[in-house]
Structure 1
Amino acid sequence: MITHFQWKPLFEDKNLPGWRISFYFKKQAFQAIYHKSGEIEWSGTKPDTEDESSLKSMIHELMLFHVYE
């Protein structure tokens, strides 16, 4: 489960797509850039391969709820 999920626009012009996201997963901090296309660009620590698919799915859901509501 993702905890402490935060997001903010990459650019001052909030109409430009792209968001910086941060969260905790399995007691480990992660940071990434979430692109308009749905691509996630990991910054620093990458999640384990077996967790990455489900983690991306959870992030997409959270972004749909927070950004595209």
Structure 2
Amino acid sequence: MLQHFSYKPMFAGGALPGWTFSFFYQNQRYTGDYMPDGTINWTEDTPSDEEKVKKMIHELMTFHVYE
């Protein structure tokens, strides 16, 4: 489970092209960029079970940004 998930627009005004995010997973902090097409660019470390984490991020972003 992702803990303390937060996101914000990359640029002022909230217009696309994307969002930055951060969260804790298995006691480690991760950060990255979420692009409008759903691509995730990690800014530092990548989680060992990346595909599982990506699915959780997509679900959160869909809920918070697109609905």
How does the TM-score come out when normalised to structure 1? 0.92
Specify the alignment match of 2:39 in structure 1.
39
Matched position secondary structure for 2:61: helix
Q: Which amino acid aligns with 1:34?
A: Y
Q: Name 2:66's counterpart in structure 1.
A: 68
Asked if the contact 2:16/2:36 (under 8 Å) is kept, the reply is no
Runs of 4+ in 1 over 6 A off after TM superposition: none
Please name the residue that 1:5 is paired with.
5
Unpaired runs of 5+ residues, structure 2, are none
1:3-54 CA distances to partner (integer Å, 9 max, x unpaired)?
0000000011322230000000011100000000100000111111xx1011
- Matching residue of 1:18: 18
Give the alignment partner of residue 58 of structure 1, picking from 56, 59, 62.
56
Matched residues, number? 67
Q: CA RMSD in A?
A: 0.8
Q: TM-score, normalised by structure 2?
A: 0.94
Partner Cα distance (1:39, 1:5) in 2: 17
Q: Where does the alignment leave 5 or more consecutive residues of structure 1 unmatched?
A: none
Identity %: 48
